[in-house]
């Protein structure tokens, strides 16, 4: 009897082993190799001017709109002329998004004015100047008539561009030289308004562009309180960028205001960082001899885009090194197929290897396609892109009812793809940083 019991026990053990082996054989796993190359991607990368020779395949464009060109007559907006000049219709159709900055004072070589003549006639209490910045006219931004007109023109801009996501980023804009919220008051110019009035300008932007990401040059109190992003127009300059990062970490003074800047060290987890390369250092220096410092500054800043002064492609190595470190880098690390009674469960592990999140809650879909690439099934994934921080991974699963899939490739010509849909175009627009084929903007998983 003891011998019979031993044989039965051995048989049950082997049966259990067999069950485990069958289970393991039925569950199939694929590991994907990361793509370490640099490439432009949706909502991140370089943002050159619309007519820039460096536009190449960038998916962002920078537009600086001067009030004078937007509203040449009071209440009359030059939409057709602006669309023709910047090619907005074509950019939207191609799935290219905008970085917009609205400005009232851009120093130049000749004496000029960037606000409309009709507005100058109604206000005229600003300062004509000629400084080492250049020549121009700096308005009195505290003027009530000026502020009311500013509110109207921003509302008109927001209505014209719409809420379809075409305008991805809006840099504030409006106040100071180049819209950078500083004025050469030491030269006798009318100074910047106080915090209460500055916050009114921020409110104008928030009302006009409810779906865009708003960025400010400095971390003002309202920047932190409202969860806005920031931009650094001295990118690549070690000392100035260190000062800017210090504002973000510790807050500090703004002009004669001791507590106007608020510390917001972790804001980048929820709001984006932009900017452009400094003009005070040669591009060759930033992209060659000081490339490691330039990349480190971009990484420390958690930047998503740079423009309109972007890296020059002459320095291809530096161009790509910076590009690779802008924004998110999403990839599938592992796919698992688990067959069940009603179909196949697909489990994906998705990782962010970049320096920033993907800040938009775009739809992430798994597609079952036929051999021609036509979707047979579209399954939304419960993936929270904005919450996928750098270095983190999310696991999502969906079940394809009535479908049997195999990693062997014998799936009746069907394939499994992954895509993230740009709501502006309705097309899959995000490239995953993994080595796999891309079809119709989707990563081919099987």
Provide the percentage of residues in the chain whose pLDDT is more than 70: 94
Q: DSSP letter at 122? A: H
User: Helix or strand or coil: residue 76?
Assistant: strand
Considering all CA atoms of the chain, what is the largest pairwise distance in Å, rounded to the nearest integer? 111
Mean pLDDT of 391-400: 96
**H or E segment to which residue 300 belongs:** helix 291-301
Mean pLDDT of 52-79: 93
Distances in Å between the Cα of 306 and the Cα atoms of 112, 207, 397 are: 28, 25, 35
CA–CA distance, 344 with 416 (Å, rounded to integer): 12
Which residues of the chain does CATH 2.60.40 include?
A: 28-37+329-444
Distances in Å between the Cα of 208 and the Cα atoms of 72, 172, 205, 256 are: 20, 12, 5, 30
The tally of CA atoms less than 13 A away on the side-chain side of residue 151 is 14
* pLDDT tens digits for range 226-263: 999 999 999 999 999 999 999 999 999 998 899 999 99
308 closest CA partner among 75, 14, 86: 86
Alpha helix locations (H) across 209-282?
Answer: 221-225, 238-250
What is the rounded radius of gyration, in angstroms, for the C-alpha atoms of the chain?
A: 27
pLDDT on residue 23: 41
Q: Beta-carbon neighbour count of residue 246 at 10 Å?
A: 13
pLDDT on residue 26: 87
Provide the percentage of residues in the chain whose pLDDT is more than 90: 88
- For the ranges 24-28, 71-75, 277-281, 318-322, the lowest mean pLDDT is seen at 24-28
pLDDT on residue 126: 97
- Across the strands, what pairs with 46? 306
Q: What is the CATH number of domain 45-324?
A: 3.20.20.80
Tell me if 379 sits within 8 A of 343, measured CB to CB.
Answer: no
- Positive or negative, the CA dihedral 431, 436, 439, 443 is negative
CA–CA distance, 24 with 220 (Å, rounded to integer): 56
pLDDT on residue 3: 45
**H or E segment to which residue 297 belongs:** helix 291-301
* pLDDT tens digits for range 413-442: 899 999 999 999 999 999 999 999 999 999
Residue carrying the six token digits 């840099």: 171
370 closest CA partner among 332, 338, 414: 414
CA–CA distance, 386 with 398 (Å, rounded to integer): 20
Residue 25 has pLDDT above 60, yes or no: no
Which residues of the chain does CATH 3.20.20.80 include?
A: 45-324
421 closest CA partner among 385, 446, 396: 385
CA–CA distance, 308 with 50 (Å, rounded to integer): 9
Tokens of 295: 């990349």
Residue 194 has pLDDT above 70, yes or no: yes
Identify whether 308 is preceded by a cis peptide bond (ω within 30 of 0).
yes
CA–CA distance, 128 with 178 (Å, rounded to integer): 15
**H or E segment to which residue 442 belongs:** strand 442-444
- Rounded mean pLDDT of the chain? 93
pLDDT on residue 9: 41
225: left (phi over 0), alpha (psi -120 to 50) or beta: alpha
Tokens of 60: 């962002």
Q: What is the CATH number of domain 28-37+329-444?
A: 2.60.40
Mean pLDDT of 310-322: 95
Residue 152: phi, psi to the nearest 5? Answer: -70, -45
Tokens of 281: 């250092």
* pLDDT tens digits for range 403-416: 989 898 778 789 99
CA–CA distance, 145 with 97 (Å, rounded to integer): 33
Residue 14 has pLDDT above 60, yes or no: no
pLDDT on residue 2: 44
Burial-class residue 160 by CB neighbours within 10 Å (0-12, 13-18, 19+): middle
CA–CA distance, 196 with 142 (Å, rounded to integer): 10
Strand pairing of 45-46 and 305-306? parallel
User: Helix or strand or coil: residue 60?
Assistant: strand
* pLDDT tens digits for range 43-65: 999 999 998 877 778 999 999 99
Residue 17 has pLDDT above 80, yes or no: no
């Amino acid at each position: 009897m003891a011998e019979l019991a031993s044989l039965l026990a051995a048989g049950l053990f082997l049966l259990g082993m067999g069950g485990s082996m069958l289970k393991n054989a039925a569950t199939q796993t694929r590991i994907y190799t990361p793509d370490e190359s640099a490439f432009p991607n949706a909502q991140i990368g370089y943002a050159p001017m619309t007519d820039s020779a460096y536009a190449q395949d960038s998916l962002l464009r920078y537009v600086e709109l001067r009030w004078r060109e937007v509203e040449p007559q009071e209440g009359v907006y030059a939409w057709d002329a602006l669309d023709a000049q910047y090619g907005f219709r074509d950019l939207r159709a191609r799935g290219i998004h905008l970085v917009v900055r609205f400005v009232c004072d851009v120093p130049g070589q000749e004496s000029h004015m960037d606000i409309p003549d009709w507005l100058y006639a109604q206000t005229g209490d600003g300062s004509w100047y000629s400084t080492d910045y250049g020549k121009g006219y700096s308005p009195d931004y505290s003027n009530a008539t000026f502020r009311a007109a500013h509110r109207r023109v921003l509302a008109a801009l927001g209505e014209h561009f719409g809420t379809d996501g075409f305008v991805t980023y809006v840099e504030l804009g409006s106040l100071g030289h180049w819209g950078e919220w500083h004025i050469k008051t030491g030269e006798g110019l009318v100074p910047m308004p106080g915090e209460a009035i500055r916050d009114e300008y921020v409110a104008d932007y928030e009302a006009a562009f409810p779906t865009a990401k708003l960025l400010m040059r400095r971390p003002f109190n309202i920047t932190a309180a409202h969860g806005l992003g920031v931009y650094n127009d001295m990118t690549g300059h070690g000392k100035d960028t260190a000062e800017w990062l210090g504002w973000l970490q510790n807050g500090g003074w703004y002009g004669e205001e001791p507590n106007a800047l608020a510390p917001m060290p972790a804001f980048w987890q929820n709001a984006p960082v932009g900017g452009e390369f400094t003009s005070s250092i040669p591009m060759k220096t930033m992209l060659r001899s000081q490339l490691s410092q330039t990349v480190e500054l971009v990484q420390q800043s958690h930047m998503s885009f740079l423009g309109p002064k972007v890296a020059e492609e002459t320095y291809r190595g530096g161009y790509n090194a910076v590009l690779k470190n802008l924004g998110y880098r999403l990839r599938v690390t592992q796919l698992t197929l688990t067959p069940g009674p009603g179909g196949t469960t697909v489990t994906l592990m998705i990782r962010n290897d970049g320096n920033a999140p993907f800040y938009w809650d775009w739809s992430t879909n798994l597609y079952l396609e036929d051999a021609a690439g036509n979707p047979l099934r579209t399954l939304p994934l419960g993936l929270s892109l904005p919450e996928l921080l750098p270095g983190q991974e999310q696991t999502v699963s969906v079940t394809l009812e009535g479908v049997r899939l195999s990693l062997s490739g014998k799936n009746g010509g069907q394939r499994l793809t992954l895509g993230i849909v740009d709501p502006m175009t309705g097309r899959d627009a995000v490239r995953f940083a993994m080595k796999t084929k891309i079809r119709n903007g989707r990563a081919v998983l099987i």
